[in-house]
Amino acid sequence: MNEVFVPRKAWVLSGSIQGWGDDVLAHVDAFVFLTLDPEVRMRRLAERETLRLSRDYLEPGAMDEFMAWAGGYDDPEFSGRSRAGHEKWLKTEDVRCSAWTALSQWRKCARPSWTGSRPG
């Protein structure tokens, strides 16, 4: 990841980097944590996957299995990638984190004293 992102003057990396993107964390100015109502998220995910997978061969039951796994994200007890896990991880990072909900409400998390310059 360092080779792809760090040499650039400005960049945005989307998606979870928890557990695999640690090498770029020292170069991150901020995290933005977006949330969405779980029902809306699952509907959008199903629409996206149906469109994407309609072009490829899909084994029987694979879509149902994937959607069941993805539905676990909002369950705090889920053992896979989860919202609770992401929120816990964000609290450990030494950069400012803003969380944005579908209701456009901002709240600060992690280090609220962020000034806009890179940490360290």
pLDDT digits 0-9 by tens, 43-58:
999 998 888 877 666 6
pLDDT digits 0-9 by tens, 7-61:
888 888 888 877 777 788 778 777 778 888 899 999 999 998 888 877 666 677 8
> Cα–Cα distance between 118 and 120 in angstroms, integer?
6
Q: Give the helix ranges, DSSP H, for 1-120.
A: 2-5, 38-53, 62-71, 83-90
- Its pTM stands at 0.66
The pLDDT assigned to 69 comes to 93
